[in-house]
Amino acid sequence: MKTIHEKEKKLEDVLNELKNLEIDKPHKLLELENLENKKNQLEIEKKELLAKYNSLEQINENLIVKLEELEKREINDRKKEEKFSEKIDELNQETDSLMDEVEKWQM
């Protein structure tokens, strides 16, 4: 997820800026507060994105399981269709055989 990585990078940049500030200057205190607010906001956004990501991961896992089940069912259905076709073919052959026998007896 590109967005999470971008947010993490921004958070790390803000933390690095905080470390490099000179706190003894008054205007730097305002910068520090501003950066602290940005950091908090980024942490909140990161938590929200992680929650959404985890939710999507769970949905994805559930969909994968459902897809596998559908594929198994499809394979089983195909096998049943093949068996059914084979039985129909066998019955057709038997019917043909019986018809031949009936024709022989009628002659």
Residue 55, domain extent: 2-106
What mean pLDDT value characterizes the chain? 87
Tokens 């994105």 sit on residue: 49
Give the model's pLDDT for residue 72.
95
Q: Tokens for 86?
A: 């084979």
- Which range among 18-27, 39-48, 71-80, 92-101 shows the weakest confidence by mean pLDDT? 18-27
Q: 77 burial class (0-12, 13-18, 19+ CB within 10 angstroms)?
A: exposed
Measured CA to CA, the distance from residue 42 to residue 39 in angstroms comes to: 5
- What pLDDT does 86 receive? 93
Q: Taking 70 as the threshold, does the pLDDT of residue 2 lie above it?
A: no
**What pLDDT band is residue 22 in, cutting at 50, 70 and 90?**
low
Question: How many domains does the chain divide into?
Answer: 1
| pLDDT score of 18 more than 90 | no
Query: Does residue 60 contact residue 1 with C-beta atoms inside 8 Å?
Result: no
